[in-house]
């Protein structure tokens, strides 16, 4: 979509299908935060803890919940979910990202590969035999698309993505730079002397509307496939081991490490830098807080954590000494209770 450089507030209300409160002729040229917005900017209030910033806000208009509109110092776009409306508005102000259907002359495309006429193939892209790139998809410079890979319609791979052989990517996916999809799962059998490699014969299936962050790695399966469900969003530097199955619409924050053969439910939210051991299942709608280790299956929805809180190191050092005495402390406590009760 080729964006306009500015909109009237009336146009925005129509495009976003929300009610306008104020002057429909105000020109809006930019989205900005409450704090930094100025004349000609549209801002939004979604997090209640920023209400106090409203009075000082210099924006020309605000995306806001009807219940808070009376506190707005400017024109309003009214919506019961300002964050969602902001998300939709953001695309109106994004730089043009039209896909120019073209194959760069430096691209190396095997004659048996299929590239849709409306796809865009960047400089130095390599597409191996039997691979296919669907309509309206854009493959950034330096990407490697292995043999028999299938990339659906309207996908966007940024520069320097690597997709190993046989991987399938459905429609409307975004994959960021330095991501690697389909490298060998980490499988070895120890014969008493050394680790023997187990050929990784499965592949990776990525569903529709998936986003995969920069530097993220998703390994191919040992026998069956690794599966990433529809609508899954994966941040940067996430590692997903072989044969994991990630349920639809689950969100995985940055630097999460998921060991092999683990099954995660739908609509989960895995916090940043979480570790998840292998061969377990996690139910739908589970939230795991940042940097927790999921060391066992989770069978019901809820919020889960591990770890200790932050402390000044001097205090923390005293407490970790005690942590390593906890079992002893517990037994001594029980003994005291016994004595006290019997006395």
Does position 180 interact with a second copy (CB under 8 A)? The reply is yes
Residue 133, both tokens? 């790139």
Beta carbons of 17 and 94 less than 8 angstroms apart: no
Per-residue binding string, a second copy, 17-46, x by CB under 8 A, is: --------------xxx--x----------
- Residues in the interface with a second copy (CB under 8 A) total 128
CA distance 216 to 79: 35
Residues 129-168 that bind a second copy (CB under 8 A): 140-142, 144, 146, 158-160, 162, 164-165
- Which of 65, 91, 176, 242 is catalytic? The answer is 242
DSSP sequence for 103-143: E-TT-EE-TT-EE-TT-EE-TT-EE-TT-EE-TT-EE-TT-
For residue 288, the tally of other CB atoms under 10 A from its CB is 27
Bridge-based pairing state of the strands 7-8 and 19-21: unpaired
Instruction: Closer to a second copy by CB, 21 or 145: give it.
Output: 145
Q: Which residues contact 3 (CB under 8 A, 6 or more apart)?
A: 91, 92, 93, 94, 95, 96
Nearest distance in Å: CB 155, a second copy? 13
SS3 call for 306: coil
Identify residues 247-306 at the interface with a second copy (CB under 8 A): 249, 251, 253-255, 257, 259, 272-273, 275, 277, 287, 289-296, 298, 302-306
Backbone angles phi, psi at 164, to 5 degrees: -75, 170
| Residue 24 or 35 having the CB closest to a second copy | 35
Contact status: 237 vs a second copy (CB under 8 A): yes
Least Å distance, CB 14 to a second copy, is: 19
Establish if 322 lies at the interface with a second copy (CB under 8 A): yes
Smallest gap, in angstroms, from Cβ of residue 114 to a second copy? 18
Cβ(67)–Cβ(76) below 8 Å: no
CB of 158 to a second copy, least distance (A): 7
Report the residue from 56, 67, 70, 315 that binds a second copy according to the rule CB under 8 A: 315
Instruction: Clarify whether 242 is annotated catalytic.
Output: yes
Show which residues are catalytic. 242
């Amino acid at each position: 979509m080729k964006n306009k450089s500015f909109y009237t507030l009336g146009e925005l209300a129509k495009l976003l299908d929300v009610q306008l409160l104020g002057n429909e002729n105000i020109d809006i040229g930019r989205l900005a935060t409450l704090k930094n917005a100025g004349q000609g900017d549209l801002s939004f209030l979604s997090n209640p803890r920023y209400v106090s910033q409203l009075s000082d806000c210099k924006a020309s208009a605000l995306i806001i919940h009807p219940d808070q509109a009376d506190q707005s110092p400017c024109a309003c776009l009214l919506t019961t979910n300002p964050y969602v409306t902001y998300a939709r508005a953001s695309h109106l102000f994004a730089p043009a990202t039209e896909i120019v259907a073209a194959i760069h002359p430096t691209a190396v495309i095997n004659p048996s590969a299929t590239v849709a006429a409306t796809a865009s193939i960047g400089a130095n892209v390599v597409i191996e035999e039997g691979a296919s790139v669907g309509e309206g998809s854009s493959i950034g410079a330096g990407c490697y698309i292995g043999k028999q890979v299938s990339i659906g319609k309207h996908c966007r791979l940024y520069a320097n993505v690597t997709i190993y052989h046989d991987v399938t990517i459905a429609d409307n996916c975004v994959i960021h730079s330095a991501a690697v999809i389909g490298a060998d799962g980490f499988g070895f059998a120890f014969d008493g002397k050394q680790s023997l490699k187990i050929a990784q014969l499965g592949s990776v299936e990525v569903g529709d509307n998936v986003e995969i962050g920069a530097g993220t790695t998703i390994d191919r399966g040992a026998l069956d496939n690794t599966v990433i469900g529809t609508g899954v969003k994966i941040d940067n530097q996430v590692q997903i081991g072989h044969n994991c199955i990630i349920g639809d619409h689950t969100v995985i924050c940055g630097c999460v490490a998921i060991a092999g053969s683990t099954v995660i439910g739908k609509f989960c939210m895995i916090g940043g830098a979480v570790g998840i051991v292998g061969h377990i299942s996690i139910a739908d709608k589970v939230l795991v807080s940042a940097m927790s280790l999921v060391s066992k299956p989770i069978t019901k929805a809820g919020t889960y954590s591990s770890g200790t809180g932050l402390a000044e190191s001097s205090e923390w050092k005293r407490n970790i000494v005690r942590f390593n005495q906890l079992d002893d402390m517990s037994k001594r406590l029980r003994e005291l209770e016994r004595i006290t009760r019997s006395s």
